[in-house]
Each structure stands twice: as structure tokens, then as C-alpha cells.
Structure 1
């Protein structure tokens, strides 16, 4: 039987955040059966806790014997969610706002988007997300950044996989898989965007930070390799980055002028900064 969506959540350790994420989604009406957690060979309590939840409430859970990376887990989940119209690729270190998934997909369908992300509030959760989110959504409803989505949460319509394929599974991309997919979508003329009708709080790349600390690496991916995969030399990279920053500033200024907030905000030292 087909379903509107399947949420795919790759995880590697950090069970505390995964549990908060799952509880948050279910509090917003998401059925456990519409979630697929892909465990990339965790060594903490994650496998046992996922097995408990799967047995108790029907949560979808899959444990890999090796770490396939984010792109590998995304593609694995998308292939397994073949009966769903949308595949929502989600980080585990997030909290969902009111009706987050359905509101995001409703906005995408109303605006003709085939890949869509929600608004994002990042950083310390010292402001009371549960109370802040409804007021934020009232101000941001109908706002959109067309031509952009982010890797914390992005929903992909089934037709996009059919048109351009799945996220890249190359482990050397580590952390750049979302940008690679964004560029592929834009080059294919696929309508993508970020919408203000849904919002998530993102604690901030918890798994990646833990992996960097453990390995001592500054980056989990090869940035130059990423750009070479896109066919971009030095000059093209510079132009790409400058255009991204120029567009980001324009969006942020316009959103703040109209709504008093932006679709991407960072919380530091008790203050908001638009990004």
C-alpha cells in the first residue's frame, strides 16, 4: 500500500539525540511505521534501543554491519521506501515543529516543489522551541527560498529519483552529499526550495562533530574532490561560492524586512543571527 512519505534517518551512535528526534516526530503525529532509522554500525546502545522500539510500536529500523556514510544510508532508505510518494531525509539531532512533515509537504505541493526543506533554527535550545515555533510559523508562512534546500532535512519526490537518480554514495564526499544533490537538481531544472510553513530545531551536526573529534580530522570529506565531481575548477568554485553567499544575504534581508525573522537562524549566546 502506498503512503505519502517515509522518513529516513541515518544514525551513528548518539542515541540520546535519536530518541529525542523520534519522540518529537511522534508528538507531531508521525506514525512509527512511516519512519525508517538506518543504523550505520553504531557501537553504543542504539541497536538495542531501536530493536526495542521496532518490537514495541512498529518503528522501521535497519542495522548495517559497516558504516555506509550519509549518502549510502539515504540511498538505501530511498530504495526501501519504494511505495512512498516522498522520501524525507532527516538528521537525527533535530526537534520537529508543529505538523512539521505534513506542513512541509503541503507547502511543496502548493508551490510545485519537487525537493523541499523546512525552515531551520540551529544551535542551543535555550529559547523554548515548543512555544517559539508556532509564533515563528505564523510570521513565516508562505515564505520560500526557491532554488535552495539544506541537508538537515529535505524531502524528495519519487519523480526526482526517477529523473536524476539517488544521492551519491561516494564516502569521499563526506558532508557534501546534500550539496552534490542540490547542484544535480538545479542542473536538471528540478524545482527545489525551502519553505517557512514548517520548522525544525537543529542542535548542530552532532554525529559529524563526534566523528571529527574521535578521528582528529578537520573535515570528514574531501572538498576539492567534491568540486571536481561537479566539474568545477578553481574559478568556477569561487563564482559558485560568491553567488551562494550573495543569494543567501538577499534572502535573509528580504525575509527579515517582511517577517522579522529569516528561514535560517543561528542561536548563539542567547541571541538570534540570520544566516
Structure 2
């Protein structure tokens, strides 16, 4: 029998967040065998923790393959799953998060889909806030956009355009590269308000930057060159994205009082 989904979670240290992420998924009736943890050569207690949880599907890499490498590895190991859900480890799942997201994707004809995000400090009572938020945002869709914190890819998309790019120089831009590829191929993508995650905020990337002293993990100019964009095209692309984001946010906020991406700053919400 074909599985509806496999959840692929690349990890590099940060065990505290991985454990919270997995626990939140299990609390939403996700089966342990549908969670695949890709350990990108962690040096903390992550390997020992995974050894104590053989019920989780898992893969240990001898070297850090990066985000794109782990995503592709996970997609290949997902077997015949209809959907592959690529998920950060620094998140908490909302009510029925995975099934609700995929239900919305199928309802709206999307082949790549992301959930709404509540991002930043968890100082607002996520468990109580999320159900109320979902009632207000149900049926909301941002067509043409998904984000790298969590995005589910239908198996047919891999067959059409291939897997996420494994080039390590893209560090931090792998999701955008895949989004552009999907857009150019006419693949319907979107972000939906029927599912929500709390995102603590790029915990692994921040830790890597601190350890290495690097301002960025990838080469932004190299990323744009891979897309065939010169300076003018790059500026136009960025401006279009910002204008579309602001329009979505304004329309959603006017209608519901919330948006599909909200940042928690100094005890208040910023809609983006």
C-alpha cells in the first residue's frame, strides 16, 4: 500500500529542537515510521538519541550533505510515498498539520505546498493560539509561493523536474532555487492557511554561522547566476517578490486580522 507521505527532517546537532519537533508530530497522530530523520554528521547527542528511537526511520551520514543533499537523499529513501514533506527540525506542528496541509493541497490542485508560519519566540501560547488561528485562516492560499521551513512535494514533481539541488554553494537558497524551477515548469505551488507550524527561526543555520564566523552559508551571487539572472533581472525578481508578499499580507490582515506568515517580535506580531 502506498504511503500518503514521508516526513524528511535533516538535522545537524540541535537535539533539543529535533526532539520537540518529533514529539509535536507524534502528538498530531503522525506514525513514527512516516518520519525519516537524516542526521548530517551530528556531533552532539543526536546519534545516541536516534539509537534509542528505532521506531523512527533514520539515516546517518558520515559527512554533512547540506540541506539540499539531505532533502534529495530523503526523497529517494521515501520509497513510494505519494508526498515527501521536507521539514526543518526547529518547528512545532499545529493541529493535524501534515494531513491538513495535504488535504488543502489536493483541494486547491497544488503539487508543492507549505503551511502557514508563526515565527520567532514561543511566548504567546502556541497550543492555544494555533486552533483559533486556523479557524480564521481556513481556505486562505498564497498561490505561486512556498517556503523552505516546510514544503511537501508530490511525487509527480520529482518525476517532472527532478530533486532539490545538492550544490553546497547554494546554502540557504535551495528552497528558492526549487521554487523558481517549479514556476518555470508551470507546476502549481502554494502556501495554505489550513495548516500551521511554529518556527523558532533557522536555529541550525544560526549555529553554523556562529561556529564558522560566516555571514552567510551560501553564495547569493552564485545562486542568481545558476538561475541565469544578471544584476537587473535579480533586482526585478526581488522587487516582484517583495511587492507580492506585501500585497498578500495586507489582504490577509484586512480580512482576518492575521497573515500566513507572522513574526513574533518583542511580544507582538509583525505580518509579512
Is TM > 0.5 for Structure 1 vs Structure 2? Answer: yes
**Aligned counterpart, 1:64:** 61
Instruction: Kindly indicate whether residue 255 of structure 2 is the aligned counterpart of residue 258 of structure 1.
Output: yes
Instruction: Kindly indicate whether residue 200 of structure 2 is the aligned counterpart of residue 190 of structure 1.
Output: no
Residue number among 153, 159, 180 corresponding to 1:162 in the alignment = 159
Instruction: Kindly indicate whether residue 42 of structure 2 is the aligned counterpart of residue 45 of structure 1.
Output: no
**Cα drift, residue 202 of structure 1:** 0.1
CA deviations on 1:160-200 (whole Å, 9 max, x unpaired) are 00000000000000000000000000000000000000000
What TM-score do you get using the length of structure 2 for normalisation? 1.00
Residue number among 90, 112, 130 corresponding to 2:87 in the alignment = 90
SS at match of 2:250: helix
What TM-score do you get using the length of structure 1 for normalisation? 0.99
CA deviations on 1:204-262 (whole Å, 9 max, x unpaired) are 00000000000000000000000000000000000000000000000000000111100
Unpaired segments ≥5 residues, structure 1: none
SS at match of 1:84: coil
5 Å matches for 1:222-261? 222-261=219-258
Instruction: Kindly indicate whether residue 71 of structure 2 is the aligned counterpart of residue 74 of structure 1.
Output: yes
SS at match of 1:3: coil
**Aligned counterpart, 1:10:** 10
Unpaired segments ≥5 residues, structure 2: none
CA deviations on 1:27-53 (whole Å, 9 max, x unpaired) are 001011000000000000001101111
**Aligned counterpart, 2:97:** 100
Residue number among 130, 147, 153 corresponding to 2:144 in the alignment = 147
SS at match of 1:232: coil
**Cα drift, residue 82 of structure 1:** 2.1
**Cα drift, residue 2 of structure 1:** 1.4
Instruction: Kindly indicate whether residue 30 of structure 2 is the aligned counterpart of residue 33 of structure 1.
Output: no
**Cα drift, residue 142 of structure 1:** 0.1
C-alpha distance in 2 between matches for 1:51 and 1:195: 35
CA contact 1:36–1:62 (8 Å) conserved in 2: yes
SS at match of 1:87: strand
| Equivalenced residues, count | 272
**Aligned counterpart, 1:214:** 211
Q: CA RMSD in A?
A: 0.4
